[in-house]
Amino acid sequence: MPLRHPRPYAGIFSIRLRLAVCLIAAGALATAAVLWRPRAVAAQAAPAPGTVEFYTQKVQPIFQANCYSCHGGMSHRGGFSMATQAGLLKGGRDGVVLVPGSPEQSLLIKLMRHEGPANDPMPMPPPPRDKVSDADIAIVTAWVAAGAKMPADPPAQ
């Protein structure tokens, strides 16, 4: 007489049970993936071009990287200092460089674009340094068009 398994259907039930558990788990994971929403991280709004923050976060780093070696700190080539509000507004030996609200009249923008006047074709920054990127020129242009706001100079001591 052949031996019979005491529970002939036990293997089938075990497989079905495992399959059901896996399907339920997969369904739960799929539901969680569909319903899950990442926490919203407050997007930091970029400062507007007419603000001091725009100057300190966007414009000043461009000047520091491209202009300050000749026109910042203790160096004032051409009698022009970009390190202070007074220096930028005063201009240099050739006169006014920045006209707040008017990038088309600002020599600063023309020189950065390498579109300087015919009688003084020196582009800024001068060779062998590379021209300021078009994106950076657009930032400075937007700042000038919005009024060229920057922090007030510290009081003289």
pLDDT over threshold 70, residue 85: yes
Classify residue 104: in a domain, yes or no. yes
Tokens of 131: 């021209």
Q: Hey, which bits of the chain come out as E strands?
A: none
Classify residue 25: in a domain, yes or no. no
Confidence of residue 134 (pLDDT cuts 50, 70, 90): very high
DSSP state of 7: S
Please report which residue ranges of 36-122 form alpha helices under DSSP H: 52-54, 60-66, 68-71, 85-90, 107-112
Kindly write down the DSSP assignment for every residue of 95-110, as one continuous string. B----TT-GGG-HHHH
Average of per-residue pLDDT across 78-84: 87
Classify residue 61: in a domain, yes or no. yes
Beta bridge partners of 14: none
pLDDT over threshold 80, residue 157: no
Phi, psi (degrees; rounded to nearest 5) at 53: -60, -40
Residue 153 has a pLDDT of 78
Tokens of 155: 């009081």
Classify residue 47: in a domain, yes or no. no
11-62 pLDDT per residue, tens: 566 777 788 888 898 888 788 777 777 665 555 678 999 999 999 999 999 9
Kindly write down the DSSP assignment for every residue of 6-55, as one continuous string. SSTTHHHHHHHHHHHHHHHHHHHHHHHHHH--PPPP-PPPPPPTTSHHHI
Residue 103 has a pLDDT of 95
Classify residue 95: in a domain, yes or no. yes
If 0-12 CB within 10 Å is exposed, 13-18 middle and 19+ buried, where does residue 36 land?
exposed
CB 132 within 8 A of CB 66: yes
Classify residue 75: in a domain, yes or no. yes
Classify residue 126: in a domain, yes or no. yes
Query: What is the extent of the structural domain holding 56?
Result: 52-145
87-129 pLDDT per residue, tens: 999 988 888 999 999 999 999 999 888 887 777 657 777 777 7
Domain total in the chain: 1
Model-level pTM? 0.67
Classify residue 119: in a domain, yes or no. yes
